[in-house]
Amino acid sequence: MTVARSAGGQGVIEAVAPRATLLYRSDRARQKLVAANVTQIVIVVAPVPAFDEDLVNRCLAAAEHGGMAALIVLNKVDLPQASAALRSLEIYRGLGYRLVALSAKRDLGPLVSHLKGETSVLVGQSGMGKSTIINGLLPAAAVRVAEISAALDSGRHTTTHTRLYHLDEASHVIDSPGMQLFGLHHLEVPELADAFVEFRPWLGQCRFRDCRHVSEPGCAIAAACDKGQISARRLASYRGLARELSA
């Protein structure tokens, strides 16, 4: 975007460049844009409140479909529940995704190098610590944070709109409001299957060309899962999504 200054401290948009990437979510009725021209999605999770694995899978699928890199950050590793959370996330490291474990209140060092030269958008449920990460990176931002609800095992919304922060001239971070749902209704089922990276070696090998990999006979994806080559957890998540898109 090219902006020219005008009188009174205002500006005029003179030109808008094409988008390189676009992250958005959608349901049957509408689409909600999250951020444009980002190079990577940073999926922030935590052991408390418990993170939703299905939401992680949806964010990863959106990243793959949108041509963006993905980084998973496990925050609050100082909590006793962190070991179990980290074990459950190892499945993603095995798929080739980067996984960083840290405590945003103590040390953001493990994350900083992954943000250099990137335009990153932080996504995840409320209460995962996205705003705490922003405050650690940029103390002057003074983003409001809130305590989690122990009774409901959920966080409170503190970020109400998406905001862009500049770490340096080449590194930018976008903080987005917490989300409980990440609809992918803008994807067709074949696009969804391709967005699950471990499916790709078997795509096109099913008995039927229009196989959705849900319950069709002769499905190569199901056979790979039976042999332990594809995670049953990930396949179950995909099938739930595929049914949702096909409904």
What CATH number does residue 99 fall under? 3.40.50.300
Same domain assignment for residues 126 and 219: no
Same domain assignment for residues 198 and 159: no
Same domain assignment for residues 66 and 144: yes
Domain range for residue 232? 189-246
Over 90: is that where the pLDDT of 153 sits? no
Same domain assignment for residues 159 and 210: no
Q: Which residue has the tokens 């995670």?
A: 231
| Whether pTM exceeds 0.85 | yes
Same domain assignment for residues 48 and 168: yes
> If you average pLDDT over residues 59-69, what whole number do you get?
96
Asked if residue 2 is part of any domain, the answer here is no
How confident is the model at residue 58, as a pLDDT?
A: 96
1 vs 133: CA distance, rounded Å: 28
Asked if residue 183 is part of any domain, the answer here is no
Same domain assignment for residues 131 and 161: yes
Same domain assignment for residues 84 and 159: yes
> If you average pLDDT over residues 32-55, what whole number do you get?
94
Q: In this structure, what token pair is assigned to residue 55?
A: 């939401």
Q: In this structure, what token pair is assigned to residue 104?
A: 């945003």
Asked if residue 1 is part of any domain, the answer here is no
pLDDT digits (tens, 9 = 90+) for 74-95: 999 999 999 999 999 999 999 9
Same domain assignment for residues 102 and 220: no
Question: Among 92, 60, 50, 100, which residue's Cα sits nearest to residue 182?
Answer: 60
Asked if residue 181 is part of any domain, the answer here is no
Same domain assignment for residues 132 and 218: no
Question: Among 66, 117, 74, 118, which residue's Cα sits nearest to residue 93?
Answer: 74
pLDDT tier, 158 (very low <50, low <70, confident <90, very high otherwise): low
